[in-house]
Amino acid sequence: MKLTIKVWRQKGPKAKGGFKAYSLDHVSEDSSFLEMMDQLNDQLVSGGEEAVHFDHDCREGICGMCSMYINGRPHGPMEQTTTCQLHMRSFKDGDTITIEPWRASAFPVVKDLVVDRSAFDRIIQAGGYVSVGTGGVPDANEIPIPKKIADEAFNAATCIGCGACVAACKNASAMLFTSAKVSQLAMLPQGQVERKERALNMVAQMDEEGFGACTNTGACAAECPVGIDLTNIARLNREYFGASVSTEE
């Protein structure tokens, strides 16, 4: 395959960025998108140019690091697929592929396609954990949890924190991410003691980071690579308002 790669280049957080186009030939349709980026960087370095900086780690669709806006969609054209799991067979010979970083004030660009997503870390630090003593490990059947609840909690816990929901949202809202992290603990016995504080603190931190408000367009769930459901946002709203009323009383 012969492709034109139009990629965002930016030397640093305060530098002015812009798109730069590169021609890339002999791209295997069986290679992954990140392998194509590796091929592009090999070509750039061989020609004396600086490589394109982008995040990556596991390359197995687990860590959420491979955050790229590809042809106007977070992670590219395939549903429930991370950038690293996207293959070049999804494109055609002669295509022009436009690649950008996440666009959100809470995710400032570090360099090229790399953005600072530490805002997510601070939301987790505000309450996305269980800090009370839970004792030893109980027998598996000692605290029975209905399968439906266990499945919902597990599905919420599959959020990889990639930020695609923020990138897809016209308001750059982090409600889907935050709601998934609140939901996974709110539905389990271990998360009950800190349930109210968790919802209040994590939402407060989300707002402090500068993420936008949710207007329920559903773009976040549509572009989520692991299929986090919008029902988590409804649950977060219930958790937050319930905690707010309880605190006022």
The residue out of 68, 84, 110 marking a domain boundary is 110
143 and 33 both lie in a single domain: no
Give whole-number Cα distances, 200 to 119, 128, 243, in Å: 17, 11, 7
Q: How far apart are CA 168 and CA 171, in angstroms?
A: 9
Domain count, the chain: 2
Q: Quote the tokens at residue 200.
A: 């209040």
Are the beta carbons of 233 and 172 closer than 8 angstroms? no
pLDDT at 202: 97
| pLDDT above 90: residue 140 | no
pLDDT at 137: 61
Q: Quote the tokens at residue 90.
A: 């999804």
The residue out of 77, 110, 143 marking a domain boundary is 110
Which letter, b or e, does each residue of 153-184 get, where b requires 16 or more Cβ atoms within 10 Å of its Cβ? Answer: bebbeebbbbbbbbbbbebbbbbbbbbbbbbb
150 and 172 both lie in a single domain: yes
Nearest of 1, 14, 200 to residue 87 by alpha carbon: 1
Segments forming the whole domain that contains residue 11: 3-110
30 and 48 both lie in a single domain: yes
pLDDT at 163: 97
153 and 169 both lie in a single domain: yes
47 and 166 both lie in a single domain: no
49-58 pLDDT tens trace: 999 999 999 9
Nearest of 51, 61, 164, 37 to residue 107 by alpha carbon: 164
User: pLDDT band at residue 217, thresholds of 50, 70 and 90?
Assistant: very high
106 and 122 both lie in a single domain: no
Mean pLDDT score of the chain, rounded to an integer? 94
146 and 224 both lie in a single domain: yes
The residue out of 68, 92, 110 marking a domain boundary is 110
182-209 pLDDT tens trace: 999 999 988 888 999 999 999 999 999 9
94 and 123 both lie in a single domain: no
Average pLDDT over residues 136-154: 80
Q: Quote the tokens at residue 136.
A: 């030893």
149 and 214 both lie in a single domain: yes
Are the beta carbons of 224 and 164 closer than 8 angstroms? yes
123 and 201 both lie in a single domain: yes
Q: Quote the tokens at residue 167.
A: 């990138």
| pLDDT above 80: residue 24 | yes
CATH number of the domain to which 87 belongs: 3.10.20.30
User: pLDDT band at residue 120, thresholds of 50, 70 and 90?
Assistant: very high
Nearest of 105, 96, 87, 112 to residue 18 by alpha carbon: 112
CATH number of the domain to which 132 belongs: 1.10.1060.10
Please give the model's pTM, rounded to 2 decimal places: 0.92
| pLDDT above 60: residue 218 | yes
25 and 68 both lie in a single domain: yes
167 and 186 both lie in a single domain: yes
- DSSP letters of 122-173? HHHHTTSS--S---SPPPTTTS---HHHHHHHHHHHT-----HHHHHSTT-B
